[in-house]
Amino acid sequence: MRPLYSLLLYLLVPGVLLRLWLKGRRVPGYRRHWRERFALQVPGGEGVIWLHAVSVGEVRALAPLVDALQARYTGRPVLVTVTTATGRQTVRQLFADRVMCRYLPYDLPGAVERFLAALRPVVAIFAEVELWPNLYAGLATRGVPLYLVNARLSERSLRRYRYTGGLMRSTVGSITRVAAQGEADRMRFIRLGVRPDHVTVTGNLKFVVQLPGDFQLRAQQLRAQLSAKHPVWIAASTHDGEEAVVIRAHTEVLGHFPQALLLLVPRHPERAAALVRRCGAAGLSCSLSSESPYCGASVLIVDQLGLLVYCYAVADVAFVGGSLVDRGGHNPVEAVLAGVPVISGPYLENFSDIYALLQAAGAALGIDDAGGLSARLLAWWDDPQARNRAVRAGREVVGKNRSVLDRVLAVIGPLP
């Protein structure tokens, strides 16, 4: 079945190239380095430790693991591959020149062969759920151990993968070990075909995220720039379909706190111009973080990568996006560590274990619409003591789950 799969991929190549070109109109990074996606530019080396993370969230989750591996195997080259332009930017922000960074090649037989022949990795470590039949087969042929870490598998994804029958069974048969986020994920990987003794529950690596070393200084500078004495809330990593709800909620909040400030941080910064128009249509004054200092607008749209964690620090409450639309939610741990309680929508599939613990502790609350969002905001502003209790409870939850990294490293074991 793999030859048929490969033929289909080759037939899709023209459409894929067109999609890259179109996406590059908004995000130039998609047009740059396109040769890497066909393994026409591959870094070489001896003893390369290779990790793969799709985009921003996965890169941040793998960051502590990258640091630990570099500390343990000093001098070995490390390659981090990504799929998105924002993921690539995040690798550069977190690691600078400490690691090599490339786009993951498409799962074409020729590209896979060129990539693995040039790279010669000693290990492949993939984040969450990335299943590529040709790539996995190539790793197995070369005897390269393959680990899925922070692995998760939703019921919907399981059903989709099982439609492929023998193709996916042979693919997962190439996996050395799976470090699953939770017991439900473990059982789904077993149902997919991974041997039960090859799957271990280690917890979620996203509990191990660290605040940057300049966190306190940058947070103080941002507070001074914003003169943040009025109520401030943040809508973080929002998607299309969520901003309309956020803007309606902020309009309701302004009826109670006319000086309130919303920090609106879209998941994809290139959507900022559209959000400016949307705020204007709602009668809200707004400015962009990239264009001018904050000048008293009621909405500051953060259109620069790398600022989100510092924005959490100046907010009183955080709404974490990807949760009011069916995107599975985004990681709330940075918000908790930065000192804000969390509000989310109902779509939390990607972080269900983390949100379950935070909600049980009272550190996160759920809403379904603009009315619920504004009501939660106002309730926490009216009761600072309850807000502080939520922050303390959230930090306790995170602190109790920091040993995940040690468990993941134990699953990987000594490298060749």
Instruction: Give residue-wise pLDDT tens across range 111-162.
Output: 999 999 999 999 999 999 889 999 999 999 999 999 999 999 988 889 888 8
What's the pLDDT band for 239 if we cut at 50, 70, 90? very high
Q: How far apart are CA 361 and CA 377, in angstroms?
A: 18
Closest listed residue to residue 378, CA positions, set 298, 299, 316: 316
What residues does 262 pair with on adjacent strands?
233, 299
By the 8 A CB rule, do 43 and 102 touch?
yes
Which positions are catalytic? 58
- What domains are there in the chain, each with its CATH number? 28-204+403-412 (3.40.50.11720), 215-400 (3.40.50.2000)
What's the pLDDT band for 229 if we cut at 50, 70, 90? low
**pLDDT tens-place string over residues 247-267:** 999 999 999 999 999 999 999
**pLDDT tens-place string over residues 70-92:** 999 998 999 999 999 889 999 99
Average pLDDT of the chain, as a whole number = 92
**pLDDT tens-place string over residues 39-81:** 998 887 789 999 999 988 899 999 999 999 999 999 899 999 9
Tokens of 172: 């997962």
**Quick one: average pLDDT of 210-223?**
90
What's the pLDDT band for 9 if we cut at 50, 70, 90? confident
What's the pLDDT band for 163 if we cut at 50, 70, 90? confident
pTM attached to this predicted model: 0.85
Q: How far apart are CA 250 and CA 279, in angstroms?
A: 10
**Quick one: average pLDDT of 14-41?**
82
State residue 234 phi and psi, 5-degree precision.
-125, 135
**Exposed, middle or buried: residue 312 (CB in 10 Å: 0-12, 13-18, 19+)?**
buried
Q: How far is CA 388 from CA 21, 227, 262, 380, 384, in A?
A: 47, 21, 20, 9, 6
The packing angle between helices 243-256 and 370-382, to 10°, is: 40
Sheet containing strand 232-238, strands side by side: 286-288, 299-301, 261-266, 232-238, 317-320, 342-344, 364-366
What's the pLDDT band for 228 if we cut at 50, 70, 90? low
What's the pLDDT band for 17 if we cut at 50, 70, 90? confident
DSSP alpha helix (H) spans, 96-237: 109-119, 133-141, 155-162, 166-172, 183-192, 215-226
Closest listed residue to residue 194, CA positions, set 144, 151, 138: 151
What's the confidence (pLDDT) of residue 13? 87
DSSP 320-374: ESSTTTTS-----HHHHHHT--EEE-S--GGGHHHHHHHHHHTSEEE-SSHHHHH
Residue 124 DSSP SS3 = strand
**Quick one: average pLDDT of 17-43?**
82
Q: How far is CA 300 from CA 98, 198, 207, 235, in A?
A: 33, 48, 28, 11
**pLDDT tens-place string over residues 341-392:** 999 999 998 898 899 999 999 999 999 999 999 999 999 999 999 999 999 9
Does the pLDDT value for residue 106 go beyond 80? yes
**Quick one: average pLDDT of 92-109?**
94
Does the pLDDT value for residue 246 go beyond 80? yes
Does the pLDDT value for residue 27 go beyond 80? no
**pLDDT tens-place string over residues 283-333:** 999 999 998 777 789 999 999 988 999 999 999 999 999 999 999 999 999
Element at 15 (helix H, strand E)? helix 2-26
Does the pLDDT value for residue 35 go beyond 70? yes
